[in-house]
Structure 1
Amino acid sequence: MDLTLTIFVLVYVAMGVGHLPFFRLDRTGAALVGAMLLIALGIIAPAAAWQSIDYNALGLLAGLMIISAAFSVSGFYDYAARAVGAAKVGPQALLAIVIAVSAGLSALLTNDVVVVAMTPIFCQICLARRLNPVPFLLAFCFAANVGSSATLIGSPQNMIAAETLHLSFLGFMKLAALPSLVGLPVIWGVLVLFYRGRWELAGTGATRVAPPQPLDVGETVKAFVVTAAVIVGFVATDWPHMLIALLGASILLVSRRVESQKLIGLVDGDLLVMLIGLFIVNAAVAATGLPQELIGWLRSVGFNLHDPMSMLIIMSVVSNIVGNNPAVMLAAPFLTGAAQPEALGAAIALGTGFSSNAVIFGSLAGIIVAEQGKKNGITIGFAEFAKAGVPTSLLCLLLAAGWILYLQ
C-alpha cells in the first residue's frame, strides 16, 4: 500500500506542478510512468488495468476532438478570429465580442482545441491594432472555461463526468447553461474594471500579421453539418455518446480534399494518454481502500460527493491543486448511484470550469494562452493572471453556489 500511495502522490504532484520536480517528466509522462510501474510491479494486474480504462469517455473525447479539428483545418477558426479582430468597435466592445465568440465556440466544440487554434491569431491582431493584448487574451481564456461549462461536450472533464453519470445532453445543459451565460458579463465587468485606461500599447510600431489561412467553405459547411447531426444525435437518440461522436469523426476523416492526417494530428494525444494513465493509477489506489476511508471522513465533516453543493466546493479546490481534468478523474469512481446525477454533473462542470480561471495552471486553456502569448512576445505572469482571475472565479463560483441552492 505504501508503494502504491507513493506512486499516486508523485503522479498527482506532477499534475499540479506541471512536471515531476527535479525531472523532465511532464503530466502525461508522469501518468504513463505511474501506470506502467503499477503494472510492472504487480500492484495492479494487466487485466484490471485495462478494465479500469473508461473507453466511453476516451472515445467521446477523441471523436469530438476530430470534429473540432475539422474547423481548424478548414480555416474557420482563423476566419472567426480575424473577423473579430477586424470589428470596427472600441476596446470594451471588442472585449465583449471576444468573450461571446470564445464562450460560444467552447460550448459546442472542445475548448482546448479552440484555444490552441485561435490564441496565436488574437495575439497578432491585438499587436497589429496596438491594443494591449493581455485583457483580450485573459477574456478569451476565461470565457472558454466558463462557456465550456454549459454543455457536456464543452470540455474533457465535462465528458468524463457525463459518461460516468450517464447524463443526457439536454438534462445537463438545462442545469449548467444559465449560470455559464450569466458568468460571461462577470468576466467582462472584472476585466473592464482592472484594465481601464490600459487598453492601448505605447509607441507606434506596426506588427505584421501572418497571412490568413484560406477558408474552405465546403469543408466548413461539412463540419457544421456533422456537428449539428452529432448534437441532434445526443439529444434525440439513445445511442451511446461515444458512438455518435466517433461516427461524426469518421465522416469527416473520409474526404477527397483533406488528408486524414491533418485532422488526426490536431487530436490531443497527450491528453488521451494522460487520462489512460490516471484511470490505471486511480484504480490501483482505489483497490487499497484508502479513497473509501477518505470519503467516509469527508462525510463525517459534512461533505458528500453525491451532494451538488459539496461537489462544487470540492471541485473548486481540487481543480486548482491538480488541474480540472485530474480533479474529475479523482472523483469519477465515487459518482455512481447519485440521486441527482444532472445536478451533480452541473456542479462538477461549474466547479472545475469557474474555479480554473483563478490561476494559470488551473486549466489547460490558461497554460496554452500563457505559452502562446510568450511565443508572440506577450508576458502573462502568475500575478497578472491571478489579479483578474481570482475575483472572476470567486464571483462566478458565488453565482454557481446560488444557482445550486436554488435548484435544491
Structure 2
Amino acid sequence: MNLLPDLPTVNLLGHDALDLGIVAVFAVVYLGMFLGGLPRLKLDRSGVALLGAIAVIAITGQPVEDAARAVDLPTIVLLFAFMVVSAQMRLGGFYTAVTRRVGAMPLSRRGLLAALIAVAGAMSAVFSNDIVCLAMTPVVAQLCLQRRLDPVPFLIGLACAANIGSAATLIGNPQNMLIGSVMQLPFGGYVRQALPPVALSLALLWLWLAYGPGASHVQAPEALRPTELDPDDAAPLDPFQTAKGLLVAGALMLIFLFTDWPRDVAALVGAAVLLLSRRLHSSHVMGFVDWQLLLLFIGLFVVNHAFERTGLASQAVAWLAGHGVHLADPGPLLVVGVALSNVVSNVPAVMLMLPHLKGEAAGVTLALVSTFAGNLLLVGSIANLIVVDLARKSGIEIDWRQHAVTGIPVTLGTLGLVWGWLSWSA
C-alpha cells in the first residue's frame, strides 16, 4: 500500500486534535462498514467510505493529489479490468448457458449439487465470485423449481462455492486482488498454495449439503413456481462474444502464470481489447462495472492511510507483540482475520491488516482466511447478499438461520483445512 511522504499540510488544529479528528472519522467509517450504512442517512458502505475520505482531506488540509497517492492504483485498475471481462462473459450469455447445460444433465440431486458447486467454484476463480452469483442465481433458482427440488440448499451452496472458489487465485475476488497487488505475491506461487485447500473445501461443502442435516428435505414447496428470467440473465449464448471473452481471460491467466508482466497493465489491455466491439456498445459493458465498489476501495485507502499516520495502529500491534501475540503468526492471523471479516466485511478487514503483514506466507493465509470467513454469516460476504436478494425476486426466502446451518459448520471445517494445509506445507 502506498505511503504518503511527510509533506506539509495546512491544518488549523493541534497535533493531538488532528489525530483525534482522524480517529473519529475512522471510527464512524468502520461503524458504517459494520452496519452497512449510517443510521437515518441514505448511505451505503461506499457512500460512507467516500464521505470519510472527504472528511479526512478536509481535516488534515492536505492537497487532493497527496491524498490520491494513498490509493493503490494497480488494485483499482485490476479490479476495473476484470469487471469488464466479467461483463463481456455475462453479455455473451456464457454464465447462463453453462448453468443451463449443467441443469440439463441427467443427474441426481447430489450429482447436480456437485456439478453446480464445481462450476461456480471454477468460474469464480477467474471471473469474480460476485459476478458469478449475480449471473447464476436466477438460473439456478429456475432450474431447481423446474425439477421440483428445494432451491435453498442449491442457492446457499452457490454462494459458498463462489466464495471458496474465488480464493484459488489472486483475481477471484477484490480482497485477493488487493493482497496480491500490495504484497506483490507471485500469481503461480499463490495458486499452488491455495488450490489444494480450495478443492478440499469445495468437496467438504458438497458433503455437507448432500449428506448433512438438511439433505433429507429435497422437495420444493408447492407454492413455488419457476419465474421468467430478466433479459440479461436469459440472453442466448453468443458464440463469438463468448469466445472473445474466453480468449482474453485465458491469455491473461497465461500471462499471470508464466510471465512477470504487471498484472494491472496486462488486464487493462485485455479490457481494452474487449471494449473494441461492433456488437456490444461500450456503455452497455461499462454499465456492469461496479463503480460503487471502486469508490469503496478509494475511500477506504484514504481513510486507512490517514489513520495509519496517527501511529495508533502500529502501537496496538506492537503492544500485542509485547504480550506474545504476533499478528503475522498463523494462529492470531486466522482468528483476527475471521473476526474482522465478519464485523466490517472482508475488504475493509484486509485493508486494516495489510500494513502490518510481511511475507508470502502471511499473504496467502490472509487471502484464504478472509475469503473463507465470508461464508460464516449471511452478512459476511457480498456474494451471499446477492444470492439472497435475487432469490427473493424469484419468491424464495433465505434467512440467516437457513444460511447458518450450512455457513457455520462449512466455514469452521474449511478454516480447519486451511490451518492443516498451511501447517503441513510450511
* Bin for the TM-score computed over the shorter chain: over 0.9
Which residue is equivalent to 1:255?
A: 277
Is residue 195 of structure 1 aligned with residue 214 of structure 2?
A: yes
- Cα 1:216–1:306 change in 2 (3 A) is same
Mapped to 1, the partners of 2:287 and 2:362 lie a distance apart of 34
* TM-score normalised by structure 2 residue count: 0.91
Is residue 323 of structure 1 aligned with residue 341 of structure 2?
A: no
Instruction: Select the residue among 149, 158, 168 that pairs with 1:131.
Output: 149
- Asked if 2 retains the 8 angstrom alpha-carbon contact of 1:99 and 1:140, the reply is yes
Mapped to 2, the partners of 1:367 and 1:204 lie a distance apart of 23
- Cα 1:251–1:139 change in 2 (3 A) is same
Is residue 102 of structure 1 aligned with residue 102 of structure 2?
A: no
Q: Residue 375 of structure 2 aligns to a residue in which SS?
A: coil
Which residue is equivalent to 2:268?
A: 246
Instruction: Select the residue among 311, 321, 329 that pairs with 1:307.
Output: 329
Mapped to 2, the partners of 1:108 and 1:220 lie a distance apart of 14
Gaps of 5+ in 1: none
CA deviations 1:339-398 (Å, max 9, x no partner) are x31x22221121011111011111110111111111211111111111210000000001
Instruction: Select the residue among 165, 169, 172 that pairs with 2:187.
Output: 169
1:43 Cα deviation (Å)? 5.5
Mapped to 2, the partners of 1:205 and 1:282 lie a distance apart of 46
Mapped to 2, the partners of 1:44 and 1:171 lie a distance apart of 39
CA deviations 1:196-226 (Å, max 9, x no partner) are 2211113387424437311110111111111
CA deviations 1:86-141 (Å, max 9, x no partner) are 22212111111110011000011111111111112212222222211110001100
Is residue 385 of structure 1 aligned with residue 407 of structure 2?
A: no
- Cα 1:44–1:385 change in 2 (3 A) is farther
CA deviations 1:283-327 (Å, max 9, x no partner) are 111111111111112323433333344323221111011111111
- Asked if 2 retains the 8 angstrom alpha-carbon contact of 1:233 and 1:239, the reply is yes
Mapped to 2, the partners of 1:288 and 1:48 lie a distance apart of 16
Q: Residue 21 of structure 1 aligns to a residue in which SS?
A: coil
Instruction: Select the residue among 49, 64, 75 that pairs with 1:57.
Output: 75
Is residue 90 of structure 1 aligned with residue 108 of structure 2?
A: yes
Which residue is equivalent to 1:122?
A: 140
- Asked if 2 retains the 8 angstrom alpha-carbon contact of 1:139 and 1:191, the reply is yes
1:252 Cα deviation (Å)? 0.3
Mapped to 1, the partners of 2:223 and 2:289 lie a distance apart of 39
CA deviations 1:56-103 (Å, max 9, x no partner) are 111111111111111101000111121222222121111111100110
Counterpart code for 1:246: L
User: What does 1:196-275 align with in structure 2 at a 5 Å threshold?
Assistant: 196-203=215-222, 206-210=225-229, 212-275=234-297
Mapped to 2, the partners of 1:205 and 1:379 lie a distance apart of 11
Instruction: Select the residue among 282, 300, 321 that pairs with 2:304.
Output: 282
- Asked if 2 retains the 8 angstrom alpha-carbon contact of 1:43 and 1:284, the reply is no
Mapped to 2, the partners of 1:242 and 1:307 lie a distance apart of 29
1:29 Cα deviation (Å)? 0.5
Mapped to 2, the partners of 1:301 and 1:73 lie a distance apart of 54
RMSD (Å) for aligned C-alpha atoms? 1.6
Instruction: Select the residue among 148, 156, 168 that pairs with 2:174.
Output: 156
Which residue is equivalent to 1:365?
A: 383
- Cα 1:195–1:240 change in 2 (3 A) is same
* TM-score normalised by structure 1 residue count: 0.95
CA deviations 1:38-57 (Å, max 9, x no partner) are 11233654233111000011
Q: Residue 196 of structure 1 aligns to a residue in which SS?
A: helix
Single out whichever of 194-203 and 30-39 deviates more from structure 2: 194-203
Mapped to 2, the partners of 1:122 and 1:374 lie a distance apart of 13
- Asked if 1 retains the 8 angstrom alpha-carbon contact of 2:125 and 2:165, the reply is yes
Mapped to 2, the partners of 1:20 and 1:71 lie a distance apart of 35
Counterpart code for 2:174: P
Q: Percent same amino acid at aligned positions?
A: 39
- Asked if 1 retains the 8 angstrom alpha-carbon contact of 2:224 and 2:395, the reply is no
User: What does 1:28-67 align with in structure 2 at a 5 Å threshold?
Assistant: 28-42=46-60, 44-67=62-85
Is residue 349 of structure 1 aligned with residue 372 of structure 2?
A: no
Counterpart code for 1:356: G
CA deviations 1:127-180 (Å, max 9, x no partner) are 222211110001100011111111111111001000011011101111111101
Single out whichever of 294-303 and 368-377 deviates more from structure 2: 294-303
Counterpart code for 1:198: H
Which residue is equivalent to 1:293?
A: 315
- Cα 1:190–1:284 change in 2 (3 A) is same
- Asked if 2 retains the 8 angstrom alpha-carbon contact of 1:309 and 1:347, the reply is no
- Cα 1:307–1:44 change in 2 (3 A) is farther
Q: Residue 262 of structure 1 aligns to a residue in which SS?
A: helix
Length, aligned pairs only = 404
- Asked if 1 retains the 8 angstrom alpha-carbon contact of 2:209 and 2:406, the reply is yes
